[in-house]
Chain A
Amino acid sequence: KQEVTQIPAALSVPEGENLVLNCSFTDSAIYNLQWFRQDPGKGLTSLLLIQSSQREQTSGRLNASLDKSSGRSTLYIAASQPGDSATYLCAAPGTALIFGKGTTLSVSS
């Protein structure tokens, strides 16, 4: 049974910092992993989808890596901005996509 854990649960940083969000999963027989962003009271926005054949995927200031052997993925955010403040969710395939509880990021100006 797939289980997804995200650390830390919350993170506060000043504007401009580079930061790393961590995600671990128990079943490494995955074919992809997806990162989402969720603003308060809103739905989920897909940020990055990493296929199992890839080790990294980049979109703008975001870079996600995947290490299936260790059951880990990281989301790297460069030069953080107040607009990046949101909850970031990692999801790995199980019966359907299985989600972690998310990391709530607050970027202060």
Chain B
Amino acid sequence: DTGVSQDPRHKITKRGQNVTFRCDPISEHNRLYWYRQTLGQGPEFLTYFQNEAQLEKSRLLSDRFSAERPKGSFSTLEIQRTEQGDSAMYLCASSFEFGIGELFFGEGSRLTVL
């Protein structure tokens, strides 16, 4: 297993455009998490899935953000009508189901909104 993979690694877009990020978790992990990280800050929780069910969403996840995990495998995070404040690193992590076990992160997708 190659760990958590994220695509694309870098995305530059103009304000108002839509962007989508993909995350492939470690195959046997039931839980999948999305975080956002800005410069000098720790990662901030956005949302998480257990299998295909989205169980928790942070208040940071505005209506312009939507996440899916069809069939409980890979996940996508879409940002509609991007704003400059959306510029950040978007991190995906996965873990086993029991409680919040050890989290394993991908390399992240860096978004720059011009």
Q: Which residues of A contact B (CB under 8 A)?
A: 4, 31-32, 34, 36, 41-46, 49, 89, 91, 93-102
Contact = CB atoms under 8 A, between A and B. Distances in A.
Contacts of B6: 43
B42 A32 contact: no
Contact of B104 (A46, A94, A100): A46
Contacts of B107: 42-43
Contact of B102 (A4, A41, A42, A49): A49
Given A44-B91, A95-B58, A101 B102 contact: no
Interface in B34-56: 35, 40-45, 48, 56
Contact of A44 (B43, B48, B110): B43
A27 B55 CA distance: 21
Contact of A96 (B4, B41, B48, B106): B48
Contacts of A102: 42
Nearest to B91: A43
- Chain A's interface: helix, strand, loop or mixed, by majority? strand
Contacts of B99: 31-32, 93
B103 A46 contact: yes
Nearest to A44: B105
B100 A99 contact: no
B108 interface: yes
A96 B45 contact: yes
A43 B100 contact: no
B94 to A, nearest CB: 12
A91 B37 CA distance: 14
Contact of A101 (B40, B103, B106, B108): B40
Contacts of A96: 33, 45, 48, 56, 100
A51 to B, nearest CB: 10
Contacts of B104: 46
B45 A101 contact: no
Interface in B89-114: 91, 93, 99-108, 110
